[in-house]
Amino acid sequence: MKTEAVLDDIRSRIEAGYPLLFLKTAEEDRWERELAELALEIERGLVTWTITRGLQPPLSGETYEEPSATRLLVQLNEYPEEHLFLVKDFHPYLTDPVVLRQLRDLLPDLIAQRKTLLLFGPVMKVPLELEKDSVRIELPLPAYEDLREEFDQTISEIRGSDADALELNADNEDRLIKAVMGLTAQEARKAWMRALRGRNELNDDVFTTLISEKRTLASGSDLLEFYDLDENVNDIGGLDQLKDWMSKRAEAYSPRAREQGIPLPKGMLLLGVQGCGKSLTARATARLLSFPLMRLDIAALLGAQRGESEKNMRSVLSLVESIAPAVLWLDEIEKGFAGVEGDGAGAADATMLRLVGTFLTWMAEIQKPIFVVATANSVENLPPEMLRRGRFDELFFVDLPNFEERKHILGIHLKKRGWKTDQFNLDDLARRADGFSGAELEQIVVTALIDAFGNGRVLSQEELERAWRTTVPLSVTMEDKIFALRNWAQDRCRRATSDSRVTAMLEAEQRIDTTRLPDDDEFVPLPPWAQLAAAGQLKAGIVEFIRKDGDVLFPKLVEAMQPYMEVTGDQGLAVRTNPNTVLWAGMSQPLCELICELVSSKRIYVHPTELDRYKEIQKGVRLPILKEPTDEKVPRAVWLPSSLRTAPHQVHSARLSRIGRMKLGGS
Ligand code: ATP
């Protein structure tokens, strides 16, 4: 309900002469402001009471007395007519029989004097004796329109203090507001301040930060689990139709879509083979929509005592509504709702049928932006109602990945761990890994990495192939089940992968079969440090290079890394504690940053070295020379000839352990 509508309700009750309203809110400040404005509008005086300060403003000429509940109730009669009394945190006193009697006796006077008592706070416990004479109203959290106002104010504050503040278009503003819905106005302001201050561009992280503020909302229930949004759509290999469909649905949440009356999407059901990315898609969907992701634990819901599960379901769904916009994820529904289709005679079946019914009705009627993602590995125990057309916007079948998809998935998991894919023959590996799920392909990469590292080698095609050989895909043991599932889904579900890709896959497999792999004899292997650097593992490559050589001068390192990254530029390194002490200059920013990171994580160390070594390679920095590192501040820039090693210097290790990057021009 919107703030305006609730204020209208309160206004009409005050004007109709209601003497006692219980107002429940966790947002004292905002609602106090709203009620003060209302009092002005309807021309009533407003007096506030707290146990610490008593009535404010006090009656003129009154002498100070310790505030108490009984004193308050006496004082109310002394105020002129037509007043509102905003009484904070009164609930503890309502258990006192004297206070309760006093309040009941006071009600006729309040009515006669057109006064209303507003009992206001986060707890609403109405004693039985007052039920007939009072009204309870839950003051809602800020609606979109309310947050809009808060947002405009917050942004103008940020802009006031930050000249480079970011420019926002209408779509981005809408996303930023929706990302905090469900929070109080004050929480929303804090969240925006934290996420937006000092930024001059908007990226995905801003939304992820805002959404994570909603974590505490889900903590109100054991049945809802809040998920961090670490993966995005680019982390999903293949499933192009599904991704395409999803990005169109994401558009339907935009303000433009609202203006044009486009209905809010309801959700999708993903049916498919285990480990092929259904859960991953649920997570990436939430990130795509910039909504928090909440997983509903159906098993725990059903595990509740008899009669409790439906109540729990209703309360959890209303919690989800209060957090909206949100993605609600129902994982493995065939397990959660198992037995619904059974003989229907058992009490458990009856409960589950009702639960499914409650859920589907809620889903059909909900007017809030809640996108349901249900995932299932089989259809046997799935409630048929769930599969009926119109319940979900779409049913997708997620099959084992085809050749192109396998290649894509292998690439994603290599890149995720910092490896360049062009170092490997992924075509060959993807061809061999026919029948492997996405999770099993990821496992190949992980196993190969662990094995290579354990054997003191750099990841190579050989390790990947060995890991492939030792993995038996589930599809071998589950072939019949997968076949049956595929058959079932054929006419009932949309494929998550487009058919044209399947054709492309077949063609590609044909092509690959005739491809000759490079002849081993023609192949001159790179040293391990270079293999690492070539595979994108730059930090590991640098450490290996220094370890192999033992003691490396800066220009040597720059030269070695040159084929793998941009190495030269106007950046240099200096000692942090003594910033005029230059170590080397003329490098690129990325290379300087890598060296700084490695030194600060103590994987490599700076050692002072003899100037002659630099003379040998005829290179140096055009600055006066410093022979020994010193703690005394040097007034002008000086060069400390130094080298890099993997072991610390006996004497100067602490002095040279903190280095920084700065603009220093050429060496
Ligand atoms: P289950 O039914 O067993 O939960 P699932 O279909 O939900 O299986 P996920 O849990 O999404 O599968 O897959 C497990 C992991 O395997 C993912 O977190 C991801 O790392 C990897 N994976 C699976 N499919 C893909 C894919 N298409 N692209 C990239 N990674 C994938």
User: Considering only CA atoms, which residue is closest to atom 5 of ligand 1?
Assistant: 275
Instruction: Tell me which of 279, 414, 501 to substitute to probe ligand 1's pocket, judged by most ligand atoms within 8 Å of the beta carbon.
Output: 279
DSSP H helices in 76-168? 97-112, 144-161
Helix (H) or strand (E) holding 608: strand 605-608
DSSP-assigned beta bridge partners for residue 21: 118, 135
Q: Has residue 524 got a pLDDT over 70?
A: no
Mean pLDDT over 354-371 rounds to 88
| Gap between the Cα atoms of 11 and 13, Å rounded | 5
CA of 208 to the centre of ligand 1 (A): 21
- Angle in degrees, 0-180, between the axes of helices 185-196 and 204-212, rounded to the nearest 10: 150
Range of weakest confidence among 45-49, 264-268, 630-634: 630-634
| Whether 340 contacts 356, CB under 8 Å | yes
Q: Which of 268, 278, 280, 398 to mutate to test the pocket of ligand 1 (most atoms within 8 A of CB)?
A: 280
What ranges do the domains of the chain cover?
A: 3-138, 144-213, 233-398, 403-477, 530-663
Where residue 501 falls among pLDDT bands split at 50, 70, 90? very low
| Ligand 1 centroid, distance to 392 Cα (angstroms) | 22
pLDDT digits (tens, 9 = 90+) for 577-631: 888 999 999 999 999 999 999 998 888 999 999 999 998 888 888 889 998 888 8
- Ligand 1 centroid–CA 331 distance in Å is 13
Q: Minimum mean pLDDT among 235-244, 259-268, 277-286: which range?
A: 259-268
Name the residue at shortest CA distance from atom 19 of ligand 1.
Answer: 439
Task: Read off the pLDDT band of 304 (50, 70, 90).
Answer: low
CATH fold match for the domains 233-398 and 403-477: no
Condensed to tens digits (0 to 9), the pLDDT of residues 160-202 reads 766 566 777 877 888 888 888 888 888 899 889 888 887 777 8
Give the DSSP H or E segment for 297.
Answer: none
Of residues 156 and 498, more confidence is placed in: 156
Architecture per CATH, 3-138: 3-Layer(aba) Sandwich (3.40)
Provide the residue type at 502 as one letter. Answer: V
> Distance from the CA of 603 to the center of ligand 1, in angstroms?
34
3-state secondary structure of 56: strand
Q: In a 10 Å sphere around its CB, with 0-12 CB exposed, 13-18 middle and 19+ buried, how is residue 370 labelled? A: buried
Give the ligand 1 atom nearest the CA of 377.
Answer: 2
**Of all residues in the chain, what percent carry a pLDDT higher than 90?**
40
Report which residue type is found at 459. Answer: L
Q: Which CATH number fits domain 233-398: 3.40.605.10, 1.10.357.10, 3.40.50.300, 2.40.30.10?
A: 3.40.50.300
Name the residue with higher pLDDT: 223 or 522.
223
Q: Look at residue 162 in the predicted model and tell me its pLDDT.
A: 62
Section 224-246 average pLDDT: 89
Distance 233 CA to ligand 1 centre (A): 13
Beta strand ranges found along 164-280 (DSSP E): 224-227, 267-272
Closest residue by Cα to residue 179 from 153, 204, 197: 204
Band the pLDDT of 32: cuts 50, 70, 90.
very high
CATH level 3 topology of 403-477: Helicase, Ruva Protein; domain 3 (1.10.8)
The protein residue with its alpha carbon nearest to ligand 1, atom 15, reads 439
161/249: higher pLDDT: 249
What is the position in ligand 1's atom list of the atom closest to the CA of 331? 4
Q: What is the pLDDT of residues 86-133, one digit of tens each?
A: 999 899 999 999 999 999 999 999 999 999 999 999 888 899 889 888
- Ligand 1 center to 406 CA (angstroms): 12
The residue whose CB lies within 8 Å of the most ligand 1 atoms, and thus the one to mutate among 276, 283, 437, 495, is 276
User: If you average pLDDT over residues 550-559, what whole number do you get?
Assistant: 94
How many angstroms separate the alpha carbon of residue 280 from the centre of ligand 1?
Answer: 5
Residue list, ligand 1 pocket, CB within 6 Å: 236-239, 274-280, 375, 377, 409, 412, 438-439, 442
Distance in Å, CA 445 to ligand 1 centroid: 14
Q: How far away, in angstroms, is 357 Cα from ligand 1 center? A: 29
pTM score: 0.67
For ligand 1, the distance from its centroid to the CA atom of residue 395, given in whole angstroms, is 18
Q: What is the mean pLDDT of residues 34-49?
A: 94
Does residue 562 register a pLDDT over 90? yes
From the alpha carbon of 237, which atom of ligand 1 is closest?
28
pLDDT at position 303, please?
67
293-296 vs 83-88, strand pairing mode:
unpaired
Q: What is the pLDDT of residue 522?
A: 53
Quick one: pLDDT band at residue 650, thresholds 50, 70, 90?
confident
437-472 pLDDT per residue, tens:
999 999 999 999 999 999 888 899 999 999 998 888
The residue count of the chain comes to 667
3-state class of 634 per DSSP? coil
At residue 417, the pLDDT reads: 92
Residue with CA at minimum distance from ligand 1 atom 12? 275
Residue 283: per-residue pLDDT: 92
User: Most distant CA pair in the chain: distance in Å?
Assistant: 105
